[in-house]
Amino acid sequence: MGYFSMMFLYFDPGLGAMLVQAIVAAAAGIVLFSKNFMYKVKSFFGLTKSQKDGIDTIDFEQDEKHPNEEQGS
Amino acid sequence: MKSKAHRHQASFRDPSGYIVQDGSVVKRVINPIYFPVYDALCEADFFSPLFKAKMLIPHIEQERSEEAIVLLPDQIDLMTYPYEWSFEQYKQAALLTLKLQNFALDRDFSLKDASAYNVTFHRGKAVFIDTLSFDFYQKDSPWRAYKQFITHFFGPLVLAHFHGAEALKMMQTHIDGIPVALIASMLPKRTKLSPTLYTNIHLMAKMEAKHKDEYTPKSRSIKLSKQSLRNLLRSLYNYIDQLELKQQTEWGDYYNKTNYQPESFNFKKEQIQKWIAQNGARKILDVGGNDGTFARAINSDIALAVVADVDHNAVALNYAQVKANKEDNMLPLWFDVTQPSPAIGWANLERASILNRLSAWAPEAVLALAVIHHMTLSSNIPFVDSARFFAGLSPLLIIEFPKRNDSWVDSLLQRKREFINHFDHYHQENFEKAFEQYFKILERVNIPDSDRILYLMHTQE
């Protein structure tokens, strides 16, 4: 489409910061995997409360609670 | 764009577009270079779920031509900046940014920047305001805004965790975020044992130092799968989500520590409520407003109460209530009356001072309850200077004056030791005389069972 990402115009992302992401992500993968594993072990023994992992949660509750809220203004 | 509108001074970094101030209305202009992304975002119905969830400031498309698309966003009452947020507010802003990046990746877009100035507080919630921050996701590319996220969000939050909320104020002197090397140098050695802190901060600082003289052509060949990027985001999210302030002191009994009998407390509440309602003030600034107890007591129809306090704990407690009660007309602000946040950035115009922003917002009434004795006796600010300060904020002032025999005043005076005589001017008569240079005293009432007086004043015409 002829669009060249203007991210390259904007600011320097830092070469070091770009390179390090693969390692950060690998470490993150291990941490997430082991947390998840521990969670499964604990929940097998009934030791856990519900697991909180909010990054995927999109919260619409305010709208549902006050459906008339916007109409007044 | 019409000639009367002018580009906002904070808006020069991103070539995608800019903010204009059209009279009192803020608009966003999109440059042709960004049209393909904007159109793709619209086509993917990217915006509406985010509007609905109140994660992104809603806008409507107002004009479209070959040269520009003009968006009219919902107007923000009062912009607050990162160094004016409590720890928990800061955390919410960080989590919001990660959520948005995660949401964007799902739809093959990506945040091209992760500045803390892209977020502000609106109707009780953190909201993302930079609509043009989304770009196409390039397959297997690392996140270009990653370092910015660390220097604007992750670093300051981790520093605050170890050193206290005051660390967040460092953002005031680092408009581009706190340098990674500085963050790394300020963290305790043992943080090198944490996989998250080691990789995101210490290792990054090392890599940055190693590659600082190289240029970027190589970077286009750096690859990172989408799933790896997702893991990175998720682990940052989980880490920040559980982060707490170490110095979380016991708070909440402030009003027990002060010298109020329940009757005087209720009297004060009712009197303030009456004056606010009588004057029809709907925009209130509470200076030294603590956790917002008095601002909340005003049951009349308040559009927005900005509750400013120097005590981080008070601001934190206020925000906790805003969150728990889902209040949309309360804005907690971390604010030192003796050192308000200055204007910073390019030409000192990029981020306005808090006093500038407050006066543009134009509060209809200012509350200054139990604050004048601190200004006068702890900070030595002469009455007449305090009067000028308050007169510059709003025409209507409700101010409480604790008399000399009030126990708080007495304890402040005792701290002056041999200089106690230098504060003989702290008297009701002098207070009134100084304030009458700027205000007309409309009413004064004694608060029962206390040594305090409540005044209603209006600026001189």
Does pLDDT of B386 surpass 90? yes
Range of the domain at A59: 14-66
Domain annotation covers residue A54: yes
Residues B261, B233 share a domain: no
Residue B190 lies in a domain: yes
**Does B36 lie in the same domain as B185?**
no
In a domain, residue A44? The reply is yes
Per-residue pLDDT tens for B435-447? 999 999 999 999 9
- Which span out of A63-72, B12-21, B348-357 was modeled with the highest average pLDDT? B348-357
Nearest CA in chain A to B106: A56
Q: What pLDDT, on the 0 to 100 scale, is given for residue B264?
A: 86
Shared domain check, B128 and B86? yes
Whether residue B410 has pLDDT greater than 50: yes
- Residue B150 included in any domain: yes
Q: By the CB < 8 Å criterion, does B32 face chain A?
A: no
| Strand partners for B60 | B72
Summarize pLDDT for B222-272 with one digit per residue, the tens: 899 999 999 999 999 999 999 999 765 544 555 555 556 788 889 999 999
Q: Are residues B287 and B381 in the same domain?
A: yes
Residue B233, chain A, CB below 8 Å: the answer is: yes
Give the number of domains in chain A: 1
**Residue B1 covered by a domain:** no
> What is the per-residue pLDDT across A18-64, written as a single tens digit (0 to 9) for each?
889 999 999 999 999 988 888 888 888 887 766 665 888 887 654 44
Compute CA distances B364 → B257, B303, B436, whole Å.
Answer: 30, 11, 19
- Compute the C-alpha angle B181/B183/B189, nearest 5°: 95
Asked whether residue B222 falls in the same domain as residue B320, the answer is no
Q: Are residues B61 and B187 in the same domain?
A: no
Residues 6+ apart with CB under 8 A from B262: none
Inside any domain, residue A4: no
Whether residue A51 is contained in a domain is answered as: yes
Tell me how far CA of residue B368 lies from CA of B135, B426, B453, in angstroms.
46, 17, 12
Cα–Cα dist B458/B461, whole Å? 9
Band of pLDDT at residue B3, cut at 50, 70 and 90: very low
Give the span between the Cα atoms of B202 and B188, in whole angstroms. Answer: 11
Out of B49, B73, B97, pick the residue that ends a domain: B73
* Residue B94 CB partners (closer than 8 Å, separation 6+): B149, B153, B154, B157, B240
The answer to whether the Cβ–Cβ distance between A55 and B222 falls below 8 Å is no
Task: Work out the average pLDDT over B86-101.
Answer: 98
* Number of residues in chain B: 461
Sign of CA dihedral A3, A6, A8, A13: negative
Q: Are residues B193 and B232 in the same domain?
A: yes
CA terminus-to-terminus distance, chain B: 38
Task: Measure in Å the smallest separation between the Cα of B180 and chain A Cα atoms.
Answer: 10
Q: Do B117 and B56 belong to one domain?
A: no
**B293 in a domain, yes or no?**
yes
Angle B419-B425-B429 from CA coordinates, rounded to 5°:
160
In a domain, A32, yes or no: yes
For chain B positions 40-99, those within 8 Å of chain A (CB to CB) are: 49, 52-55, 95, 98-99
Query: Could you tell me which of B93, B15, B109 has the C-alpha nearest to residue B55?
Result: B93
pLDDT of residue A8: 52
- The Cα B152–Cα A12 span in angstroms is 15
Residue A27 lies in a domain: yes
CA nearest to A57, candidates B202, B99, B424: B99
Same domain, B267 and B349: yes
Q: Which of B200, B220, B241 is at the close of a domain?
A: B241
Neighboring chain A residues of B204 at a CB cutoff of 8 Å: 16-17, 20, 24
Q: Please check whether residue B62 lies inside any domain of the structure.
A: yes
A2: in domain: no
Mean pLDDT of B148-177: 97
Q: Is residue A3 part of a domain?
A: no
B349 domain-assigned: yes
Q: Judge if B217 and B305 occupy the same domain.
A: no
Minimum-distance CB partner of B204 among A10, A20, A31:
A20
The structural domain count of chain B equals 3
Per the document, the length of chain A is: 73
Residues B260 and B304 in one domain: yes
Domain C-terminal end among B207, B241, B275: B241
With an 8 Å Cβ cutoff, is B122 touching chain A? no
Structure ipTM: 0.78
pTM equals 0.91
Give residue B260's domain range: 254-459
Based on C-alpha coordinates, what's the Rg of chain B? 25
* Cβ-Cβ contacts under 8 Å, A23 against chain B: 199, 203
Same domain, B419 and B344: yes
| Section B384-402 average pLDDT | 97
Please, which residues 144-183 of chain B have a Cβ atom closer than 8 Å to chain A? 144-148, 150, 180
What is the distance in angstroms between the Cα of B189 and the nearest Cα belonging to chain A? 19
Average pLDDT of every residue of chain B: 92
For a pLDDT cut of 70, what percent of chain B falls above it? 95
From B65's Cα to the closest Cα of chain A, the distance in A is 19
Reduce the DSSP state of residue B458 to 3 states and report it. strand
Is position B247 within any domain?
Answer: no
